[in-house]
Chain A
Amino acid sequence: MWNGDYQFLLRNLIVKDFKIRYRNMSLGVFWSLINPLIMMGVLAFVFARIFRADSIPHYALYILCGILPFNFLTMAWVSGTSSLLDNAGLIKRVPVPREIVPIASVLSNCLHLLIQIGLLLTFVVLFGVGVNVEWFWLPFLWGLAIMLVCGMSLITSGLNIYMRDTRYVVESVNTVLFWLIPVFYPLSMVPAQYRNIYMYNPVAVLVEALRYVLLKAEAPPANMVLRLTVFSFGALIVGLVSFNRLKARFYDYL
């Protein structure tokens, strides 16, 4: 079986994904900056100027705090889901460990994410509460987010081989998710009886936890950190176990 340099292969696959995505674009990685800024501008205009919901301080920043994790999770999840099909040539021809393909696909979105986090932090320093000691929470929170989306991608990429509709299910879930996580409205506006349900959505928990750190300069509540940890580790474990079961017949179905 394959027992080569796992880390070197992972690095090469990530670089491949990244280069392919940006090589033929004139603006290249600048798209990672432009895209969330446009979204932020539109949402801020619609909800602050048209709906007059500008009671939240630093409203544009508030939106950006929601858009970044949402963008990262959905984009990484979709690309992770279709990664096995996109790399069918590899799966059918090279005996590499299969799970490396969706994981590399998710991780190749991380450079993207890193640039966007840089943008977010710059905005926080310029217009918000500034640098503070709670920022030490950020690598931990983002790390959990990456783990979460790796786990989800392992589940859906495996399923996608057997049922090609899976990709569209994921895309539909993402569309719905945009409205069901507090991107442009505060959690406190959600009626109390639904708020508990929100706390079972790991993306909503992540967004709220990030806002504690970045907008209030407070540590996220222990309850949220615990939930996010459980969700992320849970997703990764379920992902690895289910992927292991599904991978045996990938070759026959591709």
Chain B
Amino acid sequence: MNIITLDNVSKVFRLKADRKLLRDHIADRFRDRAANDFYALKNVSFQVSQHESVAIVGANGAGKSTLLSLVVGLTKPDAGRIEVEGRVAALLELGSGFHPDLTGMENIFLNAALLGYGEKQVRNVLGQIIEFAEIGEFIHEPLRSYSSGMIVRLAFSVAVHVDPAILIIDEVLAVGDAAFQEKCRQRIDSLRAEGRTLLCVSHVAGAVREICERAIWLDHGELIMDGPSQEVITAYTDYMNDPHKGLPARTASPAPKVRVMRPGSAKRRATGHSA
């Protein structure tokens, strides 16, 4: 079952998009818009099925974050089609949706509500969230007294406990000590075993190779390569070390090159889970 489907998705950003002056809005009506457009994503197509863990790699400005924001549903594509099924829990930024003046406890409730969880559901997993985050008695202190490691642990803990169908992680795993990273990896593995999907983004290729089995390489908004993470990341690091070699030959057609991982085992596990 495809849980994320992107079909020829493009996202256009207008240069000077942060303008907020009336005269610009008016001038915009008369100006040729295409001149100011640039593609953050261009004709990107791929599918992700349940159980898969996919890394998105690429240099700064390759369109990784834009891609995630589209999957999360924060913004809409200018062309193409996106379908996402199930609850998405996204760790897009250190403690997004957290407020420094609220205590850790209050932030748990706020964040879980933002992710779409109900009150009873939060209370059921509250103990697990606090325990996993290893915050201790600081849970009743305002968040501004937390170290960045504590915030990331809390954010991660909420995200993995709200029963997400898709977990999205954007660079944040780099924070936190080795022990906690190991714990996160285990938790991610168990989520995947339960049939959850993982999407993670990094420009540090090594980190994602261990967590993800499939990788997608983006460059200037275009999909360069999609395949087993070992192959893609090797090609990506080769290219980054010596860009003069040029990008690898792409499949000529914009049609997606999709590899569904272990379809047999995925199915078995899915039925095992529901039983």
Report A's interface with B, CB cutoff 8 A. 1-5, 8-9, 11-13, 15-16, 19-20, 23-24, 89-96, 161-165, 248-249, 251-253
Assuming the contacts A89-B97, A93-B74, A162-B25, asked whether A5 and B88 have C-beta atoms less than 8 A apart, the reply is no
Residue contact A95 to B106, C-beta cutoff 8 Å: no
Residue contact B118 to A96, C-beta cutoff 8 Å: no
Which B residues are in CB contact (< 8 Å) with A20?
A: 99, 101-102
Interface of A is mostly: helix
Interface membership of B119, Cβ < 8 A: yes
Residue contact A94 to B117, C-beta cutoff 8 Å: no
9 A/B residue pairs, CB under 8 Å, sorted by A: A4-B115, A5-B113, A12-B109, A24-B101, A94-B97, A94-B114, A252-B75, A253-B17, A253-B20
The contact of A93 among B14, B20, B96, by CB within 8 Å, is B96
Q: Which residue of A lies closest to B14 (CB)?
A: A252
- In the complex, how many angstroms separate the beta carbon of B105 from the nearest chain A beta carbon? 12
Which A residues are in CB contact (< 8 Å) with B18?
A: 253
Cα–Cα distance between A4 and B116 once the two chains are bound (Å):
4
Which A residues are in CB contact (< 8 Å) with B73?
A: 1-2, 95
Which B residues are in CB contact (< 8 Å) with A89?
A: 93, 96-97
- In the complex, how many angstroms separate the beta carbon of A5 from the nearest chain B beta carbon? 4
Report B's interface with A, CB cutoff 8 A. 13-14, 17-18, 20-22, 25, 69, 72-76, 84, 87-88, 90, 92-93, 96-97, 99, 101-102, 106, 109-110, 113-119
Which A residues are in CB contact (< 8 Å) with B87?
A: 4
Q: Which residue of B lies closest to A249 (CB)?
A: B75
Residue contact B69 to A12, C-beta cutoff 8 Å: no
Cα–Cα distance between A23 and B106 once the two chains are bound (Å):
13
Which B residues are in CB contact (< 8 Å) with A165?
A: 22
Residue contact A252 to B92, C-beta cutoff 8 Å: no
Which B residues are in CB contact (< 8 Å) with A164?
A: 20
Assuming the contacts A5-B118, A90-B97, A93-B96, asked whether A12 and B74 have C-beta atoms less than 8 A apart, the reply is no
